[in-house]
Each structure stands twice: as structure tokens, then as C-alpha cells.
């Protein structure tokens, strides 16, 4: 057992010292440079702990910066120069991100689709659905059916626009990429787009990139020790590119299979090639991440991005955050389809969001079209299902320095849900609505 028991965080909070987090950080750096050697990461981590114990202990607590400095030093001293460089770059990037967050209120972001947001807000104002007060007024007048119909029609217009754009470029297109952060509605939107294209004589043939995950023992972990399926480095990007290049060239490939129960990938199982009227479909969190498809020229790709771009302002002056809508959606979907406790979803959201900010959001401007998957009425149906949980979390998580992120999200969502009218009867929601992907009862086959 280490003689170091605690660490001083940047916030001033004192938390328990966990050597495994050092191992995870080193391994993530090694993965970034293509060196998936977990045993070596553990060896370096042990050396880091030994070095720290020479200078710190019960009476002298190391800071996060002290630990990171030691990791860099030990990596370089032991000849792991490439890993050290990746670790330094990652550390520098995190520092820049902290600075950017501090400056965010004073400068615009190129990663925010302002034109699309303006259209969404303009529509919401016309419908009196841009504030929680307006939403409540319309529901109180018995207009929920009209709200649902108008919201669903607006979403369907987006899908129709995408269909027309794909059809216009069908002679050159080989790949349609449907992407967006977690729970943005990719699955439903993919099905709807596929149905429309089929009427035009085109077929989307899915290349399921989930089958290209590395074996679990080669997976990177986050700082809390969770296997990080949200990072593109968890996928065999080199093999994906090889297969895409062959498919576009008219060659046959053999798609691997990843078993999530065992965490193992089997190779060369399912033959695949493209027929004349077929287009490769990639439905992936990381579809816009350049290394995912850089073996295929942009002229052969159509890139679609989804996000619930809700423009709904609360009575206390804050807009509902898109990431919070997706968090609620994922909680419901995880509980319904994966028997996953919503508390775990909340606790894992920190690395979901971290990966989004690093590997998804920066590439929004690369998209050919952006679909708004938000429904102004959806939070009304989520409230009865989740409100008690958020009330519980804000009590249980308060004051825990290791769960500050989860507490902040829980507190913010509780306030938002308290400001929204609750609805229980789901019979008015269309059976093929994107919302059904999360609350259940869909007529679509997922």
C-alpha cells in the first residue's frame, strides 16, 4: 500500500490517491501513439508512485500538477519518449480547454451551427415554444396534440431535405455518414432516411463500425477506471479505412464481429461488397472524425450531423442545454433497453461529454447537413420518469469532491425539470417518432 493517501485537486479539494488513475492516463497516452501495452503502462505507473513516495506522504500531499510532472519525468527517463510526448500534449490540451471554458462567455465558437440555431429559434418563437412559460401556456390550453404534430413535421422536413441532397449526388456518393453525439437520434433518423432512399431505388448498406472495437484488454480507460467506448481510439481505425477503401473500389471484404459480452473481436466473418445501387452507411459517434474515413475522398461522402438543438428558455433565464437533453434520453434508453441504472449513466456522462468535446464537436463544421432532432415537448414526458431520481441525486451527491460533475448536472437538470409541465399520456406521440427511440413503443425495428 502506498504511503501517499490523498491528492490535492486544482479546486482545492482533497481526494483519495488512486494509483490506477495514473496507469489509465499513461495507457491512454500510449494508445494515442499506437502502443497498446497495458503491462508497460502499469510498470511506468509503479515507478511514478515510487518516485512520488520519495517526496510525499501522509504529512505532505502531492497536487495533481506534482503527479503529472512526475509522470512526464519517469516516462522520459525510461525511454518512453513517444508516450511522454502524447501525455504532454494531452495535458497541454486539457489546460487550454480549462482556459477556453473561462473565456467562453466572451467569444463565439466556430463549432456552434449558428445559422441552423437561428432557424430553430425563429420557428420556436412563431410557435410560442421558445420558453417554458410559453410551452406551459399552450399545454394548459389543451394544445399538446398541435405541439407534437408541428414538432414532428419540422423534424421530418429535415429528413426530407437530406434525402433530396443524397439523391442529387447519387452518381458520386459511396458513403453516407450519420453522426452526432450520444442519444442525438441517429438510429431513428437512419431508418427514416433509408426508407425514403429505398423509394428512390437506392439502398443504404450498413458497415457496423462497432464490430471494429479492439479487444477489451486493449481498450483505453478513463481516469475513473471505466472502459472508454466513447473515444475513437477504441476502434481499429486502420482496419476500418482498409475496408472502406476496398468497398469503394468494388472489392469484397470480410467484416469482423465484436462480442460485447466477452469483449473480444473475431476476424473475417461476414462477406460484404457493394451492389450498383448500394451506398455504404456508417452510423457512428465519430463519423466526422477525419481518421475514421480518410482513405475515401470527400467527393464520395455525404456527412450528416444530428443534435437536439432545442431553443427553450427557462423562467430563470437559462436555455435548456443540448447535452442535458441527450443525458435524459440516454438514461431512459439505458434503463429500458440495457437494464442500466440511471445513476450509472449519470456517473459515466463525464467521459461521454469529454469525448464529444474532443472528438465530435470540433468537426461539426465538416457536416453537409445538420438535423435538429429536438422536440419542444419531449422533456414534459421525461419529467415523470426521472424527476424523483434527480431529487435523490442532488441530495446524495452534494459535497462529494469525486462526483462534482455529476452533482452539477443533477442540480441543473432538476431545476430545468421543475420548470416544465409534466405529461404522462404518451398516446399522442407518433409510433415512429425519434422520441420513441428513448421512451419505447416504437413501430420501427431498431
**What's residue 378's pLDDT?**
98
> Is the separation of the CB atoms in 365 and 110 below 8 Å?
yes
Q: Could you tell me the mean pLDDT of each successive run of 10 residues in the chain, 446 residues long? A: 81 79 88 86 92 85 90 92 87 71 47 88 97 98 97 96 92 94 95 92 93 86 69 91 96 94 88 93 92 94 97 96 98 84 92 86 92 98 97 95 93 97 97 96 91
Q: Give the CA-trace dihedral at 357, 358, 364, 370, to 10 degrees.
A: -50
CA distance 323 to 446: 23
First-to-last CA distance in the chain? 48
Q: What residues form DSSP beta bridges with 221?
A: 227
Residue 1 belongs to some domain of the structure: no
C-alpha cell at 435: 422520441
Residue 327 belongs to some domain of the structure: yes
Q: 45 CB contacts (<8 Å, ≥6 apart)?
A: 19, 20, 22, 23, 26
Q: Are residues 31 and 136 in the same domain?
A: no
Stated pTM of the model = 0.78
Q: How many domains does the chain have?
A: 2
**What's residue 108's pLDDT?**
45
Residue 445 belongs to some domain of the structure: no
3-state DSSP call for residue 370?
A: strand
Considering 106, 129, 149, which residue would you say is the last residue of a domain? 106
**What's residue 107's pLDDT?**
43
Considering 50, 83, 106, which residue would you say is the last residue of a domain? 106
Residue 294 belongs to some domain of the structure: yes
Q: Are residues 301 and 153 in the same domain?
A: yes
Cβ neighbour number for residue 132 with a 10 Å cutoff: 22
Q: Are residues 341 and 429 in the same domain?
A: yes
Instruction: Name the CA radius of gyration of the chain, rounded.
Output: 24
> Is the separation of the CB atoms in 257 and 188 below 8 Å?
no
Residue 215 belongs to some domain of the structure: yes
CA distance 372 to 307: 5
The string of DSSP letters for 321-354 reads: PHHHHHHHHHHHHHHHHS---HHHHHHHHHHHHH
Q: Give the CA-trace dihedral at 276, 277, 283, 288, to 10 degrees.
A: 70
CA distance 71 to 19: 12
Residue 310 belongs to some domain of the structure: yes
Residue 446 belongs to some domain of the structure: no
Q: Are residues 94 and 161 in the same domain?
A: no
Q: Are residues 102 and 118 in the same domain?
A: no
**What's residue 289's pLDDT?**
93
> Is the separation of the CB atoms in 281 and 293 below 8 Å?
no
Domain CATH for 307: 3.40.50.300
Residue 444 belongs to some domain of the structure: no
Q: Are residues 123 and 56 in the same domain?
A: no
Q: Are residues 161 and 99 in the same domain?
A: no
Q: Are residues 340 and 433 in the same domain?
A: yes
Q: Are residues 146 and 93 in the same domain?
A: no
Q: Are residues 190 and 304 in the same domain?
A: yes
Q: Are residues 166 and 71 in the same domain?
A: no
**What's residue 12's pLDDT?**
65
Integer CA distances (angstroms), 185 to 103, 113, 181, in order:
31, 18, 9
Sign of the torsion angle spanned by Cα atoms 34, 293, 235, 85: positive
**Residue span of the structural domain in which 52 resides:** 6-106
Considering 59, 85, 106, which residue would you say is the last residue of a domain? 106
Q: Are residues 136 and 48 in the same domain?
A: no
Q: 74 CB contacts (<8 Å, ≥6 apart)?
A: 44, 47, 48, 51
Amino acid at each position: 500500500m502506498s504511503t501517499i493517501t490523498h491528492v490535492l485537486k486544482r479546486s482545492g479539494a482533497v481526494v483519495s490517491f488512486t494509483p490506477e488513475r495514473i496507469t489509465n492516463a499513461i495507457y491512454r497516452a500510449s494508445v494515442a501513439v499506437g502502443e497498446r501495452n497495458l503491462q508497460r503502462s502499469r510498470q511506468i505507473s509503479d515507478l511514478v508512485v515510487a518516485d512520488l513516495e520519495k517526496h510525499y506522504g501522509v504529512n505532505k500531499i502531492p497536487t495533481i500538477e506534482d503527479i503529472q510532472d512526475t509522470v512526464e519525468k519517469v516516462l522520459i527517463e525510461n525511454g518512453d519518449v513517444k508516450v511522454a510526448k502524447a501525455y504532454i500534449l494531452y495535458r497541454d490540451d486539457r489546460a487550454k480547454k480549462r482556459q477556453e471554458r473561462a473565456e467562453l462567455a466572451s467569444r463565439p465558437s466556430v463549432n456552434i451551427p449558428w445559422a441552423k440555431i437561428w432557424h430553430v429559434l425563429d420557428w420556436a418563437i412563431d410557435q410560442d415554444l421558445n420558453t417554458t412559460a410559453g410551452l406551459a401556456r399552450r399545454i394548459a390550453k389543451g394544445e399538446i396534440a398541435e405541439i407534437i404534430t408541428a414538432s414532428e413535421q419540422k423534424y421530418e422536413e429535415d429528413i426530407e431535405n437530406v434525402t433530396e441532397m443524397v439523391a442529387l449526388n447519387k452518381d458520386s456518393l459511396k458513403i453516407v455518414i450519420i453522426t452526432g453525439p450520444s442519444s442525438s437520434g441517429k438510429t431513428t433518423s437512419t431508418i427514416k432516411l433509408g426508407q425514403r432512399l429505398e423509394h428512390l431505388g437506392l439502398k443504404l448498406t450498413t458497415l457496423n463500425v462497432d464490430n471494429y472495437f479492439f479487444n477489451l484488454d486493449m481498450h483505453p480507460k478513463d481516469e475513473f477506471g471505466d472502459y472508454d467506448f466513447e473515444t475513437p481510439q477504441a476502434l481499429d481505425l486502420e482496419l476500418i479505412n482498409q475496408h472502406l477503401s476496398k468497398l469503394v473500389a468494388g472489392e469484397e471484404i470480410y467484416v469482423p464481429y465484436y462480442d460485447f459480452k466477452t469483449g473480444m473481436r473475431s476476424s473475417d466473418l461476414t462477406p460484404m461488397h457493394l451492389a450498383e445501387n448500394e451506398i455504404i452507411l456508417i452510423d457512428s459517434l465519430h463519423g466526422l472524425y477525419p481518421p475514421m474515413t480518410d482513405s475515401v475522398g470527400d467527393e464520395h461522402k455525404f456527412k450528416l450531423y444530428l443534435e437536439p438543438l432545442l431553443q427553450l428558455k427557462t423562467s430563470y433565464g437559462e436555455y435548456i442545454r443540448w447535452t442535458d437533453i441527450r443525458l435524459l434520453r440516454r438514461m431512459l434508453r439505458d434503463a429500458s433497453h440495457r437494464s442500466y441504472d440511471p445513476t450509472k449513466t449519470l456517473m459515466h456522462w463525464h467521459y461521454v461529454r469529454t469525448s464529444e468535446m474532443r472528438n465530435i464537436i470540433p468537426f461539426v463544421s465538416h457536416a453537409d447537413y445538420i438535423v435538429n432532432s429536438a422536440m419542444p415537448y419531449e422533456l414534459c414526458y421525461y419529467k415523470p420518469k426521472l424527476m424523483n431520481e434527480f431529487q435523490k441525486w442532488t441530495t446524495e451527491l452534494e459535497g462529494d469532491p469525486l462526483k462534482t460533475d455529476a452533482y452539477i448536472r443533477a442540480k441543473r437538470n432538476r431545476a430545468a425539470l421543475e420548470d416544465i409541465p409534466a405529461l404522462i399520456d404518451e398516446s399522442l406521440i407518433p409510433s415512429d417518432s425519434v422520441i420513441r427511440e428513448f421512451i419505447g413503443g416504437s413501430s420501427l425495428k431498431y
